[in-house]
Chains A and B, each alone.
Chain A
Amino acid sequence: MEHLLSEAKKVAEQAEVFWVSSRETPVLFEANKLKQVQTKESSSVALRIFREGRVGFSTASNIDDRETLLRMAVETSQSGLPAKFQFPSLKHYPEVSIFDPQVEKISMVEMVELGNELIARVRDHAPDILCDVELTRGTSSVHIINSQGGEASYDKSFFGLGLEGILIQDTDMLFVGDSESSCKLSPVTNTLAERVIRQLELAKEKATVSTKLLPVIFTPRGVASALLSPIALAFNGKTVFEGASPLKNKLGEQVFDKKLSLWDDAILAYRLGSCPCDDEGVPSQHLPLITEGVVSNFLYDLQTAALAGAQSTGNGRRLGGTSPRPAISSLIINAGELSFKNMLEDIKEGLVVEQLIGADQGNLLSGDFSGNILLGYKVENGEIVGRVKDAMIAGNVYEILKEFFGIGREARWVNGILQTPPLYCPRISVVAKMR
Chain B
Amino acid sequence: MDGKFTRDQFTDIMKGHDADYIEIRLEERQATHITYRGERLEEIDRTGSSGGNIRALVKGGWGFVSFNNLDKLWDKVTLAVEEARLASRESFQLPPREPIVDTVIPQLNKDSATISLATKKQLLEEYNDIMLSLPKIQSSRIDYRDSRRRVIFTNSEGSYVEQVKPDLTLRLAAIARDNSEIQQAGLSLGSKGEFSVVEGLHKQVNDVARRAAALLSAPQVKGGEYTVILDPILAGVFAHEAFGHLSESDFVYQNEQLRNIMTLGRRFGGKHLNIVDNATIPDLRGSYKYDDEGVPGAKTYLIWEGILEGRLHSRETAARMEEKPTGNARAINYVFPPIVRMTNTFIEPSNSSFEEMLGDIKEGVYLKDWYGGTTSLEMFTFSAGEAYMIRQGKLAELLRPVVLTGNVFVTLENIDAIGNDLQMNQGGGCGKGGQSPLPVSNGSPHIRIRHCVVGGR
Nearest A residue to B53 by beta-carbon distance? Answer: A40
B51–A61 contact, CB under 8 A? yes
Given A61-B68, A394-B455, A358:B372 Cβ within 8 A:
yes
Q: Say which one of B38-46, B148-156, B349-357, B358-366 lies at the interface with A.
A: B38-46
Among A41-49, A85-93, A292-300, the stretch that binds chain B is: A41-49
Cross-chain contact of B43 among A38, A39, A322, A370 (Cβ < 8 A): A322
Q: Mark B395-406, 1 if CB is under 8 A from A, else 0.
A: 000001101011
Q: Which of A246, A357, A432 contacts B180 (CB 8 A)?
A: A246
Determine whether the beta carbon of B224 is less than 8 Å from that of A211. yes
A31 CA / B183 CA spacing, docked (Å): 42
Q: Which A residues, 48 to 86, have Cβ-Cβ distances below 8 Å to chain B?
A: 57-62, 65, 68-69, 72-73, 75-76, 78-81
- Does B324 sit within 8 A of A, measured CB to CB? no
Q: How far is the CA of A36 from the CA of B68 in the complex (A)?
A: 21
Distance from A107 Cβ to chain B, minimum over Cβ atoms (Å) = 10
Q: Does A345 contact B (CB under 8 A)?
A: no
A35-B378 contact, Cβ under 8 Å, with A42-B51, A58-B46, A431-B455? no
A37 at the interface (CB under 8 A from B): yes
B101 within 8 A of partner (CB) = no
Separation of A434 and B335 alpha carbons in the complex (Å): 45
Asked if B326 is an interface residue, CB under 8 A from chain A, the answer is: no
Q: Which residues of A contact B373 (CB under 8 A)?
A: 358, 361
CB of A41 within 8 A of CB of B66, answer: yes
Q: Could you say which residues of chain A place their CB within 8 Å of the CB of B376?
A: 173, 175, 357, 372, 374
- Taking residues whose C-beta sits less than 8 angstroms from the other chain, chain A's interface range is 35 or more
Q: Is the beta-carbon distance between B37 and A242 smaller than 8 angstroms?
A: yes
Do the beta carbons of B225 and A434 come within 8 Å of each other?
yes
Q: Residue-by-residue, is B37-74 near A (CB-CB < 8 Å gives 1, otherwise 0)?
A: 11011111111111100000000011111111100000
Option from B64, B117, B407, B409 in Cβ contact (under 8 Å) with A37: B64
CB pair A242–B138 under 8 Å, yes or no, is: yes
Q: Quick check: is A130 within 8 A (CB to CB) of the other chain?
A: yes
Which listed residue (B47, B67, B184) contacts A42, Cβ 8 A?
B67
> A61-B51, A431-B224 known; A361 and B177 CB under 8 Å?
no
Is A7 on the interface with B (CB-CB < 8 A)? no
Is A372 within 8 A of B379, CB to CB? yes
Minimum CB–CB distance from B227 to chain A (whole Å) comes to 13
- In the complex, the answer to whether B255 meets A171 with C-beta atoms within 8 Å is no
Q: Beyond A30-B254, A394-B223, is A363–B457 a contact (Cβ under 8 Å)?
A: no
Interface residues of A in 16-48 (CB under 8 A from B): 30-31, 33-44
A323 within 8 A of B: yes
Binary per-residue interface labels of chain B (249-265) against chain A in the complex, 1 for a CB within 8 Å, 0 otherwise: 01000110110010000
Q: Residue of B at shortest CB range from A72? A: B46
Contact A108 B83 (CB under 8 A): yes
Of A31, A108, A362, the contact of B403 (CB 8 Å cutoff): A362
Would you give the 0/1 interface string for B219-239, flagging 1 where the beta carbon is closer than 8 Å to chain A?
A: 000011100000000000000
Interface centre among A73, A109, A322, A368 (most CB of B within 10 A): A368
Is A361 a contact of B46 with CB atoms below 8 Å? no
Which residues from 125 to 139 on chain A have a C-beta closer than 8 Å to any C-beta of chain B? 128, 130
Does residue A269 face the partner (Cβ distance < 8 Å to B)? no
User: Of all chain B residues, which has the CB nearest A81?
Assistant: B41
CA distance A173 to B47 in the complex (A): 43
Tell me how far the C-beta of A179 lies from the nearest C-beta in chain B, rounded to whole angstroms: 13
Q: Closest Cβ of chain B: how far from A435's Cβ, in Å?
A: 10
In the complex the two chains form, is A242's CB within 8 Å of B139's CB? yes
Q: Is A390 an interface residue (CB 8 A)?
A: yes
A168 touches B255 (CB 8 A): yes
In the docked arrangement, what's the CA distance between A326 and B231, Å? 36
Using A357-B379, A358-B382 as known contacts, say yes or no to A390 and B335 having CB atoms under 8 A apart.
Answer: no
Q: Which residues of chain A from 353 to 375 have a CB within 8 Å of any chain B CB?
A: 357-358, 360-363, 365-366, 368, 370-372, 374
Contacts of A173 in B (CB 8 A): 376-379
Report if B175 contacts A (CB, 8 A): yes
* CB <8 Å contact, A130 and B255: yes
Contact A37 B44 (CB under 8 A): no
Point out the residues of chain A lying under 8 angstroms from B105, CB to CB: none
CB within 8 Å for A362 and B383 given contacts A211-B224, A394-B403, A433-B225 = yes
A368 to chain B, nearest CB (A): 8
**Residues of chain A from 334 to 367 with CB closer than 8 A to chain B in the complex:** 357-358, 360-363, 365-366
B residues in contact with A101, CB < 8 Å? none
B8 within 8 Å of A (CB atoms): no
Q: Which residues of A contact B449 (CB under 8 A)?
A: none
Question: Does B128 have its Cβ within 8 Å of any Cβ on chain A?
Answer: no
A168 touching B87, Cβ below 8 Å:
no
B281 interface hit (Cβ, 8 Å): no
In the complex, what residues of B have CB within 8 A of residue A433's CB?
Answer: 225, 406-407, 451, 453
Asked if A172 and B46 make an inter-chain contact with CB atoms under 8 angstroms apart, the answer reads no
Give complex CA distance A61, B1 in Å. 12
Q: Which residues of A contact B407 (CB under 8 A)?
A: 171, 390, 433
Is B201 in contact with chain A by the CB < 8 A criterion? no
**Chain B positions within 8 Å of A366 at CB level:** 181-183
Indicate if A97 sits at the interface (CB-CB under 8 A): no
**Cβ of A238 under 8 Å from chain B:** yes
A78 engages B118 (CB within 8 Å): yes
- Answer whether residue B299 sits at the interface, using C-beta atoms and an 8 A cutoff: no
CA gap between A40 and B87 in the complex, in Å: 16
B46 CB to nearest A CB, Å: 4
Known contacts A31-B254, A72-B48, A361-B382: A431-B66 contact under CB 8 Å: no
A243 within 8 A of B: yes
Say whether B371 contacts A65, CB under 8 Å: no
B374 interfacial contact with A, CB 8 Å: yes
A251 contacts the other chain (CB 8 A): no
- Which of A38, A244, A370 is within 8 Å of B177, CB to CB? A244
* A112 at the B interface (CB under 8 A): yes
Contact B138 A42 (CB under 8 A): no
Please determine whether A171 and B409 come into contact, CB atoms closer than 8 angstroms.
yes
Query: A169 contacts B257, CB within 8 Å?
Result: yes
- Interface assignment of B314: CB less than 8 Å from any CB of chain A: no
A150 contacts the other chain (Cβ, under 8 Å)?
no
Are the CB atoms of A39 and B64 closer together than 8 Å? yes
B453 touches A392 (CB 8 A): yes
Q: Let me know if A106 is at the binding interface, CB within 8 A.
A: no
Residues in B neighbouring A243, C-beta threshold 8 A: 38, 138-139, 177
How distant is the Cα of A25 from the Cα of B63 in the complex, in angstroms?
A: 11
In the bound complex, do residue B45 and residue A242 qualify as a contact, i.e. CB atoms below 8 Å apart?
no
**Is B454 interfacial (CB-CB < 8 Å)?**
yes
Which of B's residues lie within 8 Å of A, judged by CB? 33, 37-38, 40-51, 61-69, 79-80, 83-84, 86-87, 89, 117-118, 121, 138-139, 175, 177, 180-184, 223-225, 250, 254-255, 257-258, 261, 335, 337, 371-383, 400-401, 403, 405-407, 409, 451, 453-457
Query: What are 30 of the A-B contact pairs (CB < 8 Å)?
Result: A30-B250, A38-B337, A41-B68, A42-B68, A58-B47, A60-B49, A61-B50, A61-B51, A65-B48, A72-B45, A76-B44, A130-B254, A171-B409, A173-B377, A242-B138, A243-B138, A244-B175, A357-B375, A362-B401, A363-B182, A365-B175, A371-B381, A372-B380, A374-B379, A390-B379, A392-B223, A392-B453, A394-B457, A431-B223, A431-B456
CB-based closest 8 A-B pairs: A358-B381, A31-B254, A37-B83, A168-B257, A431-B223, A370-B455, A361-B372, A72-B46
